[in-house]
Amino acid sequence: MIKRRVLFIDSALPEEVEDALKKGFQGVTTNPSLVAKAPKGDSQIPFMDRYIDHMKILVDICRKYPTNDNGLSSLPSLSVEVFSLEPDEMIKQAREIKEKLSYPNLAIKIPISYKETDYLNVIRVLSQEGFQVNATCGFSEGQLMLAAQAGARFVSLFYNRLIDYFNKNVNSQGIGQERALEIINNTREYLDGNDFNCEIIFASIRNSFDITNGWINGADIITAGSKTIPNLIFHPKTDSSVEGFEKDLNEWMK
């Protein structure tokens, strides 16, 4: 598979998603916490119907902004998470979401594990049914590698949450970032050594340096919230350069 280094928007708010796709972002990731920031809608409507109705709004936005992926026009990737923690119900929800959204570049997010339950079989079953699965809430190489082996199309590492956990619970010397980047590099090497059609998503991003760090260290995709983007785009020297060009041209035109 041709490797890429692209940026997704991590949001379930329609205005943020549309603004990002207008800028050329290649996809959208959502999760239940992000959905909870959106208007709740009519509480008389069953929750699953409200959840899907909200995702349909995002689907309509995504359809307006085809991407240029490796020279081919395609629709942005959209990741939607199931909210059950029971394996059979997860599969049922995934099927319902896929059927009702009818979006060709949909990925279903499945957490890799919860407490004493792993969801690798859920990932395997859905992948064999033709789903793109985004295996989410990853915090170790083992989790990401096993999810890829089970058939995940994407494996998501929660970068800053991992750093926080490592610095607090494992090593207080502040080397959590080093460990997080080591996990990305190890996973990159593992995927490159196998024939899995799987990409690494670098999630839990807090600033523009995290974005470039992820790309440099082997992540295929960075998914970031809207607040992290301005510092990636804007620079005071860009402004002064543009102002200088305008000033010089105006002088020449006198």
State the catalytic residues: 109
Contacts of 58 (CB under 8 A, 6+ apart): 12, 14, 17, 28, 30, 78
Task: Annotate 160-197 with b (16+ C-beta within 10 A) or e (fewer).
Answer: bebbeebbeeeeeeeebbebbbebbebbbebbeeeebe
Cα–Cα distance measured from residue 76 to residue 106, given in angstroms and rounded to the nearest whole number: 9
DSSP label at residue 57: H
3-state helix, strand, coil in the chain (%, to 5): 50, 20, 30
Cα–Cα distance measured from residue 246 to residue 156, given in angstroms and rounded to the nearest whole number: 44
Helix (H) or strand (E) holding 78: strand 77-81
- Copy the structure tokens of residue 63: 């359809």
Helix (H) or strand (E) holding 191: helix 176-192
Assess contact for 165 and 139: CB atoms under 8 A: yes
Residue appearing with tokens 């923690």: 85
Cα–Cα distance measured from residue 73 to residue 71, given in angstroms and rounded to the nearest whole number: 7
Contacts of 225 (CB under 8 A, 6+ apart): 9, 10, 11, 205
